[in-house]
């Protein structure tokens, strides 16, 4: 049931992470308008009372705040800037929050287009995967106007715990790409450690128990390592989306005249993962590259 402070929200993109994120907003009492390319992926939200719309623009027209969690920069651009998209159809004064990991330059374009129509826009990419989304423990990295950030904070706090604004439009995307640079090398580190342990005749699970409590540990090691060892490669975060993030980071680094050899090495390995036909698996599928000939 709605509370006196309930806001009319639109949520576009109800996939692996978006569905959980939207459900937190819904359970807080906010009327929810949803759209997704595959309606079945919004079924749990619809059964809980969300309103379905056949396009992102239609959902946006029904809400005061619009949140998006889609796949690729091209999806973000089409969702927001197409003639029937969000910017053209949003209510006057609406706040637009893109939670997708996308291009900093595109985030700035969206902010400019939103401002031209009397709207506010934030780029607010997230980190934490399916577990963080389900448990409302996402890290949320925000770029955009301070007043818009203050308006968004109560909603972002329903989905995450570590929420910081890093500067003007595009800054959230830059922070998320920095996050992915760190994650990329970190994934190689724990995968190679467990592959080494296996080749040496040790029990990788037992090795994980030892090194997971010391200086080598990381979130990915503790959360994705056990999945990989038991052969669970279901996506918490898709290989194909991680490849997209690494491409964006490498492109942005090139614009900044910065070389990132660790990121380049990780990208090359994940390209091999994709050529095996594993791009729709979770990022822990990198372990298979070392253990399956």
The reply to whether 141 and 283 lie within a common domain is: no
pLDDT in tens, 168-208: 999 999 999 999 999 999 999 999 999 999 999 999 999 99
Q: Is 176 one of the annotated active-site residues of the chain?
A: yes
Tell me the DSSP string of 227-285: HHHTT----SSBHHHHHHHHHHHHHHHHHTT---HHHHHHHHHHHHHHHTT-TTSBGGG
pLDDT at 3 over 70: no
pLDDT (tens digit per residue) in 226-270: 999 999 999 989 999 999 999 999 999 999 999 999 999 999 999
User: With bands split at pLDDT 50, 70 and 90, how would you rate the model's confidence at 6?
Assistant: confident
- Residue in 39, 41, 161, 176 annotated catalytic: 176
Q: Is residue 239 part of a domain?
A: yes
| Statement to judge: residues 125 and 197 lie in one domain | no
Radius of gyration of the chain measured on its C-alpha atoms: 20
Q: With 70 as the cut, is the pLDDT of residue 5 above it?
A: no
Q: Are residues 129 and 187 in the same domain?
A: no
Average pLDDT (11-24) is: 96
Domain boundary residue, one of 133, 168, 203? 168
One domain for residues 261 and 135:
no
Which range of residues forms the domain containing residue 188?
174-291
Q: Is there a single domain that holds both residue 128 and residue 186? A: no
**CA-closest candidate to residue 193, choices 287, 76, 117, 59:** 287
Both 109 and 224 in one domain: the answer is no
Query: So what's the pLDDT on residue 1?
Result: 35
Structure tokens at 42: 């919004």
111 and 17 part of one domain: yes
DSSP 50: P
Number of domains forming the structure of the chain: 2
**26, 32 Cβ separation under 8 angstroms:** yes
Residue finishing a domain among 106, 140, 168? 168
């Amino acid at each position: 049931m709605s509370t006196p402070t309930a806001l009319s929200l639109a949520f576009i993109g109800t996939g692996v992470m978006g569905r959980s994120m939207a459900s937190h907003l819904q359970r807080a009492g906010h009327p929810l308008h949803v759209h997704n390319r595959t309606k079945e992926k919004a079924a749990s939200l619809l059964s809980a009372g969300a309103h379905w719309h056949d396009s992102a623009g239609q959902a946006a027209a029904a809400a005061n705040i619009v949140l998006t969690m889609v796949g690729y920069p091209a999806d973000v651009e089409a969702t927001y800037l197409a003639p029937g998209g969000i910017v053209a159809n949003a209510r006057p004064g609406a706040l637009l929050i893109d939670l997708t990991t996308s291009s900093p330059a595109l985030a700035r374009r969206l902010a400019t287009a939103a401002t031209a129509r009397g709207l506010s826009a934030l780029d607010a990419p997230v980190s934490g995967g399916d577990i963080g989304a389900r448990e409302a423990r996402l890290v949320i990295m925000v770029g955009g106007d301070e007043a818009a950030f203050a308006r968004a904070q109560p909603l972002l706090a329903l989905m995450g715990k570590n929420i910081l604004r890093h500067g003007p439009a595009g800054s959230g995307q830059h922070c998320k790409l920095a996050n992915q640079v760190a994650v990329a090398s970190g994934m190689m580190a724990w995968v190679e450690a467990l592959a080494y342990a296996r080749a040496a005749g040790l029990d990788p699970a037992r090795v994980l128990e030892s090194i997971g409590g010391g200086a080598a540990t990381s979130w990915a090691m503790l959360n994705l390592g056990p999945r990989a060892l038991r052969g669970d490669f279901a996506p918490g975060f898709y290989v194909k989306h991680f490849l997209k993030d690494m491409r964006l980071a490498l492109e942005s680094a090139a614009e900044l005249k910065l070389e990132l050899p660790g990121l380049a090495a990780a990208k090359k390995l994940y390209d091999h993962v994709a050529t095996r036909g594993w791009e729709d698996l979770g990022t822990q599928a990198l372990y298979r590259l070392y253990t399956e000939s």
